[in-house]
Amino acid sequence: MRYFPFFHDLHNKCCLIVGGGTIALRKARLLIKAGARLRVVAPSVGPELQSLVAESGGECLFERYNEHHLDDAVLVISATDIDVVNEQVAGDCHRLRLPVNVVDNPSLCSIITPAIVDRSPLIIGVTSGGEAPVLARMVRSRLEAIFPSRYGLLGSLASRFREAVKARFSDGEQRRRFWEKTLQGPVAEQVFANNLEKAEQLMAQAIDQAGDDTLGEVYLVGAGPGDPDLLTFKALRLMQQAEVVLYDRLVSQPILELVRRDAERIYVGKKRDLHAVPQQDINQRLVDLAKQGKRVLRLKGGDPFIFGRGGEEIELLADNNVPFQVVPGITAASGCAAYSGIPLTHRDHAQSVRFVTGHLKEGSSDLPFNEMASANQTLVFYMGLVALPEICLKLISAGKDPKTPAALIERGTTPNHQVHIGDLETLPELVKNTEVHAPTLLIIGSVVALHSKLNWFDQ
């Protein structure tokens, strides 16, 4: 991140614009909305721009730029098409440590003006650092659609009740919980329906009836196989509400970045034969944190109910009467297979699919290989990298064709996604001679033969 976003209070403060044409006019329109007092310097200034300057209580100086024009300015925008003037303005501002934006020349800028979504008092700024302004405007357009204009009314309503909420809740954490609950409940719905009087009544009732929360809640959320675009909307919402997050090794860094910034993060990941925190301790910690009144996010790779031990965790929560929610995630079998062009079922290849844990217990496996050797089914082994040679050998011994296609997918759906293709005979040797990184997923069945035709992720 090269540019750090700030929001600058420009009310009744002098902002200098060098240039009097169309580009200068566009910048002036933005600045005057923030209450800035405009000073425009240019040999010629368009009539509409002159009118905006007069409206702001500023001044138009019909002359060429010089350093004295910077006096009293808190922000400078150079909007000319003359390179030597832009360079002079930028150089003077850099020397005086005065924020400057040179339109369409990021190398001369110390600040970048973003694409703005104005839902005052809610303001959203989007920037590409000047490198892809059209992309920034596209993102702004999407945000305009997501956040209707009445979000501004919701912000104004919150502002009017801010002092009453402060008086009701002495603790900052309680205030934050109140606002998060209220601003996405019935109050917000009434605002969006333009029933402002009803919204104010509901807000007053919510303040009067609010009690002290002595018991928190646990969110058991599936983070999917690695690509953050595969998260559900509900998962994202709860990730932004939680005050504490317990996450495992399979949660990718881009997904972890979507958790609320000020949330306490506790790593409880597991590797083969190495558990950072024993499972029973994880279960108990969820209970303990919730009883402290915390909103706790248990973030798990894939789906929490498919080899994720999520059932064990919420069972203890239920025993202790701790409220919880479960948000399913895209399991690794679905995500990795889809990103590899391997359909788990197909009319011509497989009419069933079986999910199996590939972990060996005490160095051996007691899986029903005779059942799994039957044709017309897809086998998916989770965590099967170490057991790969034994899995393939036992399937062959149980009667499965040694030439059955097999794929080992490493770090599926992430930028490091790799697919190793072979069959029951050749794949163990291929993997043995290849550096493979966990997490991995093993898929066995004739559907794997479709990989070369249907793979889209690496194209």
| Fold for the domain defined by 151-209 | Helicase, Ruva Protein; domain 3 (1.10.8)
Domain 14-113 has CATH 3.40.50.720: yes
Domain 217-330 has CATH 3.30.70.120: no
383 is in an annotated binding site: yes
CA dist., res. 234 & res. 244, Å (int): 17
User: Cis omega (within 30 of 0) on the bond before 439?
Assistant: yes
Q: What pTM did the predictor assign?
A: 0.69
Order of all β-strands in the sheet with 264-267:
264-267, 244-247, 295-300, 217-222, 324-327
Q: Which residues contact 445 (CB under 8 A, 6 or more apart)?
A: 349, 350, 377, 378, 379, 404, 405
17 is in an annotated binding site: no
303 is in an annotated binding site: yes
331 is in an annotated binding site: yes
User: Cis omega (within 30 of 0) on the bond before 121?
Assistant: yes
Exposed/middle/buried for residue 2 (C-beta within 10 Å: 0-12, 13-18, 19+) = exposed
In this structure, the number of other CB atoms found within 10 A of the CB of residue 52 comes to 20
Strands 115-119 and 100-102: unpaired
Q: Where are the domains of the chain?
A: 14-113, 151-209, 217-330, 333-454
Q: Which two tokens stand for residue 185?
A: 């409940």
Cite the active site residues: 248, 270
CA dist., res. 56 & res. 42, Å (int): 17
Spell out where 188-238 has E strands.
217-222
Between the two ends of the chain, the Cα-to-Cα distance in Å is 28
CA dist., res. 334 & res. 344, Å (int): 8
pLDDT in tens, the chain (459 residues): 788 888 999 999 999 999 999 999 999 999 999 999 999 999 999 999 999 999 999 999 999 999 999 999 999 999 999 999 999 999 999 999 999 999 989 899 999 988 899 999 999 999 988 788 899 989 998 888 888 888 899 999 999 999 999 998 888 878 888 888 888 778 888 898 889 999 999 999 988 887 655 678 899 999 999 999 999 988 998 898 898 999 998 899 999 999 988 899 999 986 655 556 889 999 999 999 999 888 899 999 999 999 989 999 999 999 999 999 999 999 999 999 999 999 999 988 999 999 998 765 555 567 889 999 988 899 999 988 888 999 999 999 999 999 999 999 999 999 999 999 999 999 999 999 999 988 999 999 999 999 989 887 765
Distance between alpha carbon 250 and the CA centroid of its chain, in Å?
16
| Fold for the domain defined by 333-454 | 3.30.950
